[in-house]
Amino acid sequence: MNAPTPAQHLQRPVPPAMLAALRAAFGERCNTALSVREQHGRGESVYDAAPPEAVVFCESNEDVMTVVRLAAAHGVPVIPYGTGTSLEGHLLAVQGGVSIDLSRMNRVLRLNAEDLTVTVQAGVTREQLNREIRDSGLFFPIDPGANASLGGMAATRASGTNAVRYGTMRENVLGLTVITASGELMHTGTRAKKSSAGYDLTRLFVGSEGTLGVMTEITLKLYPLPEAVSAAICHFPSIDAAVQTTIQTIQMGVPIARCELLDANAIRAVNLHSKLGLREAPMLLMEFHGSEAGVQEQAETVQALAAEHGGEAFQWAKTPEERTRLWTARHQAYFAALQLRPGCRCQSSDTCVPISRLAESINESVAEAEASGIPYWIVGHVGDGNFHLSYLMDPNDAAEAAKVEELNVRMVRRALRLEGTCTGEHGVGLHKMGYLLEEAGAPAVAAMRAIKQALDPQNIMNPGKVFALQPV
Amino acid sequence: MNAPTPAQHLQRPVPPAMLAALRAAFGERCNTALSVREQHGRGESVYDAAPPEAVVFCESNEDVMTVVRLAAAHGVPVIPYGTGTSLEGHLLAVQGGVSIDLSRMNRVLRLNAEDLTVTVQAGVTREQLNREIRDSGLFFPIDPGANASLGGMAATRASGTNAVRYGTMRENVLGLTVITASGELMHTGTRAKKSSAGYDLTRLFVGSEGTLGVMTEITLKLYPLPEAVSAAICHFPSIDAAVQTTIQTIQMGVPIARCELLDANAIRAVNLHSKLGLREAPMLLMEFHGSEAGVQEQAETVQALAAEHGGEAFQWAKTPEERTRLWTARHQAYFAALQLRPGCRCQSSDTCVPISRLAESINESVAEAEASGIPYWIVGHVGDGNFHLSYLMDPNDAAEAAKVEELNVRMVRRALRLEGTCTGEHGVGLHKMGYLLEEAGAPAVAAMRAIKQALDPQNIMNPGKVFALQPV
């Protein structure tokens, strides 16, 4: 499936002089092999690759500054790359240009356990971070499933399974080092927990999808490992029953740490992939964090709510190993599901609504998915009002692709009607530009455009994403 | 004390035609009486009033649009006004212009208890909001002490006593209605708890101090009233002992809801004002929220930590009335302290540092304050690493004013050296513009300037605040 190619996607070729300068500066770290370029010009979206002309493997802020300054001098796009797990086409070089691979900027620069903060390079992945800080008694909770880089997670304002309790990247990034569109190094934020000092540049860059600058270092909040953790699964007679239980849990203020919905299709996928042997019926996978007494209290409250909706007795994952097995299976749902339909691509849509509207948001979408006859599966960070409906589509069947897109439109418009958002955590990328305009409205998109033009006047930072630079 | 008057503060008079248009549109709601103008051109800062030329009492979005469109047509500044409790000179009409009084936009527009959200007009105060939603079982926790308007609190990214548990305005504003510098109505955010849809305009406007647009409506997160609340006071042999207890409480992850330091001077003030009869020794005033068992567990943990540092046995405020009496006294500390030195003005400085640096930040500042001989008092939202040192200065004594400013500079530079911020919650206003530049650095301030120029090209939105429009 090709990416959309509106008029704004004019190619901006890398001039030979710039390529020569990159090669002189980076040697073999400037790579123009097709396979490398193709790998860097896609992601996990349904789109075919739109490869950059070169990939530069950066190892320092100075490296990134060198690439950006050359790009600025030649008016050539740059696209930051972390682990390539984007779902919405963020990495496609739709106007050509150079991919800035940050995966070698993978050092945990500074752990301040006494302040519950850590500063990392953008290429550090969330799993690596938690491995490296394990001995501190602290952890970083944000967990979008994929072992994404923290730079990529900041760029898309990622969240995932723990966000219901610990917030998203929005709440957990304290400060940034950014290479600006002119190749200058800029710091935002401090290590203080709060500040009223000037515009909140940190949160402007978090979620900007590489379109305002390249984030190279990130200071994050950490949390003490809870004294007690317990995970449970609970089967329900219907998706609606699971969702109603979730809604009441949130409304009561239970500080549940994870509250994940899996439909029967998702369970079938993870059963096949991870040999879990779970019953293929709608299920909540939950985790509780706190003191021993606190965890028990939370679980009893939610069990009582579940029972009111026909939920079964909780099955507990008591050991860390059992919990890891369950969560690993949950995180592999995406790849597991791909195996349900050989040769398929997965078109995953991601909406988020106010918690009281979640049942309507999910139930109507499920009914449409069922009626479509196209294989689908559902998982959701339902405690946040966020869920993902993913279609397993034949990439060579244009009619099916069109049908899936139509179902997506209906699902997104439903979320907007319910006062929600077109993307809870995947970002806008290429795919949701039209939806962003519907959601935010013309004045807000005009403000975003003005900010983009002010900070990146040549439009070289990941151009062609999030919104059209000219009003459409 | 006069506000600083650099070259950028050229007066921009309201042309007669604009004044006539305002009078035609608003009648008596356009007020040019000197007393009204002076009241709108100050705040609680040490600065003398710099009155606007007119005050317009707006009652709707359309009213605000009318004023801003006239201001845009005539290149005249506008300054939003809520309750006038700014501490850093935000309200001074340093370039002249029109004050937009939002206090009559005081309706709670929409309570969605089932989603834990509420939408209010900007002039609603935090106490009014909590009164109006009392029957819902929910509350809005952000509490900067003053009964400020929620518009003003959003504008300064306010926080206060509950922020250690519930976050600041940064974490608790979901969306905004903004009248832009061209007089257009813009919405930001949705009622969904999280979103990855485009630039985070909501958080760009939160903390922008009226310099990017006028916030007229605010959608906020609410929280279920805790099942149990208990408040306690604990006296310590020294400020350091109280601070060390706080640091360990935070490092252990105790979800304490409020953790306030009062020094002996602050206690003396509130004793005099509120007849509390508290012993005049360093004290923590704490509050715990949760289930009955959870609250007890938290309190026991903190009591044990306090005892290690020589803290006395907690004295409990068991009834809601006792708690209200304590917190009201705490909130009146500012006015109480003014009575300690008749005719004085209070110069309050506000820094925030990473929690492990708090002792150094406070202890050195206390030593300097003691040595100065100028009356001072200290309160602090110490759980956040945030504290306020306030000098009671003679406004007619230039030497004393200079000495206080020198002490402020030292305190702020100390906070910056300790990786903190020049303002935890009061904002930059006029007073901290130089400190912001030191803290954020030239590239970040240049980015703020570019954003300001993009969104307010005529520089009519509260001009002359936060940073200089031309690099200095």
Where residue B131 sits, what CATH number does that domain have?
Answer: 3.30.465.10
**End position of a domain, from candidates A381, A399, A417:** A417
What does the pLDDT average to over B2-25? Answer: 83
Assign A160 to helix, strand or coil. strand
Percent of chain A's residues with pLDDT above 90: 90
Contact B191 A354 (CB under 8 A): yes
> B65 contacts in A (CB within 8 Å)?
none
Q: Is residue B259 part of a domain?
A: yes
Write the DSSP symbol of residue A44: S
pLDDT in tens, A278-302: 999 999 999 999 999 999 999 999 9
> B425 contacts in A (CB within 8 Å)?
194, 196
Q: Is residue A447 part of a domain?
A: no
CB B87 within 8 A of CB B43: yes
Q: Tell me: pLDDT of B129 over 50.
A: yes
pLDDT for position B46: 81
Assign A173 to helix, strand or coil. strand
pLDDT in tens, A97-129: 999 999 999 999 999 999 999 999 999 999 999
Where in A367-470 does DSSP place strands (E)? 376-381, 386-393
Average pLDDT, chain B: 95
Contact B352 A194 (CB under 8 A): yes
Q: Are A391 and A293 in a shared domain?
A: no
Q: What confidence category does residue A7 fall into, taking pLDDT thresholds of 50, 70 and 90?
A: very low
Write the DSSP symbol of residue B181: T
CA distances to A289, A467, B124 from B299, rounded to whole Å, are 19, 50, 34
Q: Is residue A209 part of a domain?
A: yes
Is the CB of B389 inside 8 Å of chain A's CB atoms?
no
Contact B201 A297 (CB under 8 A): no
- Strands A283-290, A214-221: pairing is unpaired
Q: Are B96 and B127 in a shared domain?
A: no
Q: Which residue, A8, A15, A14, is CA-closest to A97? A: A14
Contact A354 B447 (CB under 8 A): no
pLDDT in tens, A339-393: 999 999 898 889 999 999 999 999 999 999 999 999 999 999 999 999 999 999 9
Per the structure, the count of domains in chain B is 4
- The alpha carbon of residue A96 and the mean position of all alpha carbons in its chain are separated, in whole angstroms, by 24
Q: Is residue B97 part of a domain?
A: yes
Taking the C-alpha atoms of residue A301 and residue B391, their distance in angstroms, rounded to an integer, is 50
Contact B198 A354 (CB under 8 A): no
Q: Which residue, B457, B471, B462, B408, is CA-closest to B430? A: B462
Q: Which residue, B112, B107, B98, B46, is CA-closest to B70? A: B98
Beta-carbon-side half-sphere exposure of residue B213 (alpha carbons within 13 Å): 30
Contact A208 B224 (CB under 8 A): no
CA quadruple A309, A357, A368, B195: dihedral sign: negative
Q: Tell me: pLDDT of A275 over 90.
A: no
The distance of A94 to chain B (nearest Cα, Å) reads 19
Is the CB of B453 inside 8 Å of chain A's CB atoms?
yes
pLDDT for position B274: 86
pLDDT for position B8: 55
**End position of a domain, from candidates B54, B76, B103:** B103
Q: Are A242 and A220 in a shared domain?
A: no
Give the domain range for residue A240: 228-335
CB A27 within 8 A of CB A59: no
* Entry field: residues in chain A: 472
Angle at A340 between CA A335 and CA A343, to 5 degrees: 80
Buried/exposed code over A221-251 (b: 16+ C-beta within 10 A; e: otherwise): bbbbebeebbbbbbbbeebbbbbbbbbbbbb
Taking the C-alpha atoms of residue A122 and residue A113, their distance in angstroms, rounded to an integer, is 19
Q: Tell me: pLDDT of B4 over 80.
A: no
Assign B424 to helix, strand or coil. coil
pLDDT for position B329: 87
> A467 contacts in B (CB within 8 Å)?
198
Residue A317: strand pairing partners: A231
Where in A305-451 does DSSP place strands (E)? 315-317, 345-352, 376-381, 386-393
pLDDT for position B291: 93
Q: Which residue, B442, B444, B334, is CA-closest to B392? A: B334
Taking the C-alpha atoms of residue B40 and residue B55, their distance in angstroms, rounded to an integer, is 7
Q: Who has greater pLDDT, A48 or A61? A: A61
Is the complex ipTM more than 0.90?
yes
> B212 contacts in A (CB within 8 Å)?
199
pLDDT in tens, B192-217: 999 999 999 999 999 999 999 999 99
The distance of A271 to chain B (nearest Cα, Å) reads 30
What does the pLDDT average to over A197-201? Answer: 98
pLDDT for position A472: 62
Is the CB of A28 inside 8 Å of chain B's CB atoms?
no
Is the CB of A444 inside 8 Å of chain B's CB atoms?
yes
Q: Are B219 and B236 in a shared domain?
A: no
Phi/psi at B210 (5° precision): 75, 5
pLDDT in tens, B69-97: 999 999 999 999 999 999 999 999 999 99
What does the pLDDT average to over A51-57? Answer: 98
Rounded to a whole number of angstroms, the CA Rg of chain A reads: 22
Chain A residue closest in CA terms to B424:
A195
* CATH number of the domain residue A293 falls in: 3.30.70.2190
Angle at B6 between CA B4 and CA B9, to 5 degrees: 95
Chain A residue closest in CA terms to B443:
A186
What does the pLDDT average to over B59-63? Answer: 98
Name every residue whose Cβ is closer than 8 Å to that of residue A425 and which is 6 or more positions away in sequence: A144, A156, A157, A158, A159, A160, A163, A168, A350, A352, A381, A386, B194, B196
Angle at B82 between CA B81 and CA B88, to 5 degrees: 70
Burial of B312 (0-12, 13-18, 19+ CB in 10 A): middle
Q: Is residue A444 part of a domain?
A: no
CA distances to B1, B18, B89, B158, B394 from B50, rounded to whole Å, are 11, 20, 9, 24, 20
Which one of B158, B186, B444 has the shortest CB-CB distance to A187? B444
Taking the C-alpha atoms of residue A390 and residue A334, their distance in angstroms, rounded to an integer, is 9
Chain B residue closest in CA terms to A415:
B192
Instruction: Report helix, strand and coil shares of chain B as percent, to nearest 5.
Output: 40, 20, 40
CB A58 within 8 A of CB A98: no
Q: Are B236 and B214 in a shared domain?
A: no
CA distances to A349, A462, B273, B368, B459 from B42, rounded to whole Å, are 51, 45, 25, 29, 20
Is the CB of A293 inside 8 Å of chain B's CB atoms?
yes
Is the CB of A275 inside 8 Å of chain B's CB atoms?
no
Q: Tell me: pLDDT of B348 over 90.
A: no
Is the CB of A162 inside 8 Å of chain B's CB atoms?
no
Q: Are A315 and A394 in a shared domain?
A: no
Taking the C-alpha atoms of residue A8 and residue A5, their distance in angstroms, rounded to an integer, is 8
Q: Tell me: pLDDT of B108 over 60.
A: yes
Taking the C-alpha atoms of residue A445 and residue B201, their distance in angstroms, rounded to an integer, is 10
Q: Tell me: pLDDT of A1 over 80.
A: no
pLDDT for position A183: 98
Q: Are A267 and A352 in a shared domain?
A: no
Q: Which amino acid is at A404?
A: V
Report residue B64 as tokens. Answer: 């605000």
B187 membership: H or E segment, kind and range: strand B185-189
pLDDT for position B7: 47
Q: Which amino acid is at B430?
A: L
Q: Which residue, A141, A120, A216, A144, is CA-closest to A177? A: A216
Is the CB of B110 inside 8 Å of chain A's CB atoms?
no
Q: Which amino acid is at B230?
A: S
* CATH number of the domain residue B391 falls in: 3.30.70.2740
Which one of A194, A207, A223 has the shortest CB-CB distance to B196? A207
* CATH number of the domain residue A39 falls in: 3.30.43.10
Buried/exposed code over A326-356 (b: 16+ C-beta within 10 A; e: otherwise): bbebbbbbbebbbebeeebbbbbbbbbbbbb
Q: Are A253 and A330 in a shared domain?
A: yes
What does the pLDDT average to over B99-116? Answer: 98
CB B192 within 8 A of CB A421: yes
What does the pLDDT average to over B298-323? Answer: 95
Is the CB of A26 inside 8 Å of chain B's CB atoms?
no
Q: Are A301 and A355 in a shared domain?
A: no
Q: What confidence category does residue A46 fall into, taking pLDDT thresholds of 50, 70 and 90?
A: confident
Q: Tell me: pLDDT of A2 over 80.
A: no
Q: What confidence category does residue A3 fall into, taking pLDDT thresholds of 50, 70 and 90?
A: low
A interface mutation test: which of B165, B177, B195, B196 has the most A CBs within 10 A?
Answer: B196
Name every residue whose Cβ is closer than 8 Å to that of residue A355 and which is 6 or more positions away in sequence: A246, A247, A250, A251, A383, A384, A385, B114, B115, B116, B193
Which one of B199, B251, B352 has the shortest CB-CB distance to A448? B199
pLDDT for position A8: 55
Q: Is residue B391 part of a domain?
A: yes
Average pLDDT, chain A: 95
Q: What confidence category does residue B2 fall into, taking pLDDT thresholds of 50, 70 and 90?
A: low
Q: Who has greater pLDDT, B273 or B172? A: B172
Name every residue whose Cβ is closer than 8 Å to that of residue B252 and which is 6 or more positions away in sequence: A224, B301, B305
What does the pLDDT average to over B391-413? Answer: 94
Contact B190 A419 (CB under 8 A): yes
Longest Cα pair distance anywhere in chain B, in angstroms? 70
- DSSP for B99-159, please give it: EEE-TT---EEEEEGGGTEEEEETT-BHHHHHHHTGGGTEE---B-SS--BHHHHHHTT--
pLDDT for position B9: 67
Is the CB of B171 inside 8 Å of chain A's CB atoms?
yes
Q: Who has greater pLDDT, B328 or B125? A: B125
A interface mutation test: which of B193, B426, B436 has the most A CBs within 10 A?
Answer: B193
Percent of chain A's residues with pLDDT above 70: 98
Which one of B158, B204, B453 has the shortest CB-CB distance to A454? B453
Q: Is residue A431 part of a domain?
A: no
Q: Are B252 and B209 in a shared domain?
A: no
Q: Which amino acid is at B445?
A: V
Q: Are A49 and A125 in a shared domain?
A: no
Quick count: other Cβ atoms within 10 Å of Cβ B197? 28
> B357 contacts in A (CB within 8 Å)?
115
Contact B196 A253 (CB under 8 A): no
Phi/psi at B344 (5° precision): -80, 165
Beta-carbon-side half-sphere exposure of residue B235 (alpha carbons within 13 Å): 9
Q: Is residue B361 part of a domain?
A: yes
**End position of a domain, from candidates B288, B308, B335:** B335
Q: Are B235 and B207 in a shared domain?
A: no
Quick count: other Cβ atoms within 10 Å of Cβ B61? 17
